[in-house]
Chains A and B, each alone.
Chain A
């Protein structure tokens, strides 16, 4: 069985993991920014509605609470997508180790 180059495997693991982050993180960031911008614009409409006397104080409070719930839901999505990213990065690194061991062994053992 040929020797396993652990230094190279370490480098490959970092490369595989960082590749996942580099490719997908900007999409998550763009998503969050775009959704928060929509909510901010929408809240401006609520303020305008209250100023124009079209929305009551009680109605405005409920509308603001709905906007808060939406913002929290977006944050949970960002958290989940971040976790999925970490998961993909760890699994990419694990695959590097698995492939190295299988290659060194000359057969699929892991």
Chain B
């Protein structure tokens, strides 16, 4: 009888200790900072900015037409696919995965836009608002990624 009481008593204590320990351990609601995502998005932003400047300069020439610049789109979409794959394999990283999907959508829209411009190419009237929107989008992804460092530099 006594043995049974102590056995039960110990089980209760162990359970209580588990509850106490789990209640006092830190929680995580957003995935951890990923340097590869940070650097990948930064590099893609630089390449996109350089591409838009180049296209603005070449607007109205055959070199500025969509068909002459498919290499940029293939490279950018491939890079985003790799980043998306990495983000989706990181726990609690759904927000970054969604952001990278939106970035892919924007690059695809840019393809449509570039193709629609035909021989005019990406003139300044297009590249200026486009650069602002892309800066905001890339900046938002980086801001969240850096915030995941949680104050640790």
A residues lining the B interface (CB < 8 Å): 31, 35, 38-39, 41-43, 45-46, 48-49, 52, 54-56, 58-59, 62-63, 65-67, 69-70, 72-74, 76-77, 79-81, 83-84, 86-88, 90-91, 94, 97-98, 101, 110
Contact of B130 among A66, A87, A98 (CB under 8 A): A66
B133 and A94 within 8 A (CB): no
Q: A73-B99, A76-B95 are in contact. Are A94 and B30 (CB under 8 A)?
A: no
Interface of A is mostly: helix
A56 touches B116 (CB 8 A): yes
User: Residue B80 at the A interface, CB < 8 A?
Assistant: no
Task: Fill in one digit per residue for B30-63: 1 if any A CB lies within 8 Å of its CB, else 0.
Answer: 1000000000000000000000000000000000
Q: Smallest Cβ distance from B49 to chain A, in angstroms? A: 14
Q: Is the CB of B126 within 8 A of A69?
A: no
8 nearest interchain CB pairs? Answer: A62-B113, A54-B125, A42-B132, A49-B125, A70-B137, A58-B116, A45-B129, A42-B129
Residue of B29, B96, B103 with most partner-chain A CB within 10 A: B29
**Would B140 and A73 count as touching, CB distance under 8 A?**
yes
With A39-B132, A88-B150 already in contact, the answer to whether A73 and B125 are too (CB < 8 A) is no
B147 on the A face (CB < 8 A): yes
Smallest Cβ distance from A94 to chain B, in angstroms? 6
| A38 to B136 alpha-carbon distance, docked (Å) | 8
Q: Which residues of A contact B103 (CB under 8 A)?
A: 69, 73
Chain A residues whose CB sits within 8 angstroms of the CB of B132 once the complex forms: 38-39, 41-42, 45
User: Can you give 22 contacting A-B residue pairs, CB < 8 Å?
Assistant: A39-B132, A42-B132, A42-B133, A45-B125, A46-B129, A54-B123, A54-B125, A54-B126, A58-B113, A59-B116, A59-B117, A62-B112, A63-B109, A67-B133, A69-B106, A72-B102, A76-B140, A80-B148, A81-B143, A83-B95, A84-B30, A110-B20
If A62-B110, A63-B130 touch, whether A83 touches B24 (CB-CB below 8 Å) is no
- In the bound complex, residues from chain A placing their C-beta under 8 Å from that of B70 are none
- Please tell me if the beta carbons of B27 and A87 are within 8 angstroms of each other in the complex: yes
Closest-CB distance, B117 to chain A (whole angstroms): 6
**Alpha-carbon distance between A20 and B29 when the two chains are bound, in angstroms:** 15
B91: Cβ under 8 A from any A Cβ: no
Q: How far is the CA of A35 from the CA of B133 in the complex (A)?
A: 9
Q: Mark B133-151, 1 if CB is under 8 A from A, else 0.
A: 1111101110110011010
